[in-house]
């Protein structure tokens, strides 16, 4: 019996001067108007780190090396479906983050993890409050 896959996401913590980069979602139909970490879905045949590298290039126009990424946590959440999200921290990158997909994001903001905008995706807020990691969280299960 074939089991349906669970959508898997990767979120990247880009940190500068004690602040993390957030993007405000727009035009996606999913958490639009709320701030989130940059990232996206793992594609068929793609590793977590390869996903992070691709998504940072597509969303922010920056370049990361897979070796510059460390897994800091995992969220298994119940949202519109059963989902698993991996959180990776980037120690270095090349380029200055910009809105490279204006049809999906309308603002970038550097924020202290303890001073996030009110309009932040709830599971992202919880993940950033969890600390440096490693950690595992479950969300929406009861």
Task: List the CATH number of the domain containing 135.
Answer: 3.90.79.10
Each residue's pLDDT tens digit, 4-29: 678 899 999 999 999 999 999 999 88
Domain that holds residue 33: 8-139
Please give the tally of structural domains in the chain. 1
DSSP 44: T
Q: What is the mean pLDDT of the chain?
A: 93
The confidence score (pLDDT) of residue 76 equals 94
Q: What pairs with residue 12 in β-bridges?
A: 88
pLDDT of residue 80: 73
Q: Is 96 within the bounds of a domain?
A: yes
Tokens of 85: 């999200």
- In DSSP notation, 50-79 reads HHHHHHHHHHH--B--GGGEEEEEEEEEES
pLDDT at 142: 74
Q: pTM of the full predicted structure?
A: 0.93
- Inside any domain, residue 3: no
Confidence of residue 74 (pLDDT cuts 50, 70, 90): very high
In a domain, 1, yes or no: no
Q: In this structure, is residue 78 part of a structural domain?
A: yes
Extract the tokens encoding 76: 């298994």
Q: Between 86 and 131, where is the model more confident?
A: 86
């Amino acid at each position: 019996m074939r089991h349906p896959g669970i959508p898997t996401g990767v979120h990247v913590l880009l940190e500068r001067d004690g602040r993390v980069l957030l993007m405000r979602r727009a035009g996606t139909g999913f958490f639009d108007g709320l701030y989130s970490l940059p990232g996206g879905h793992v594609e068929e045949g793609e590793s977590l780190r390869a996903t992070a590298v691709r998504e940072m290039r597509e969303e922010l126009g920056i370049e990361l090396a897979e070796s510059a990424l460390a897994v800091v946590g995992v969220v298994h959440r119940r949202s519109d479906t059963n989902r698993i999200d991996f959180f990776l921290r980037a120690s270095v990158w090349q380029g200055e983050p910009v809105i490279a997909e204006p049809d999906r994001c309308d603002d970038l903001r550097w924020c202290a993890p303890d001073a996030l905008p009110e309009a932040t995706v709830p599971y992202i807020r919880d993940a950033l409050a969890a600390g440096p990691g490693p950690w595992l969280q479950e969300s929406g299960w009861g």
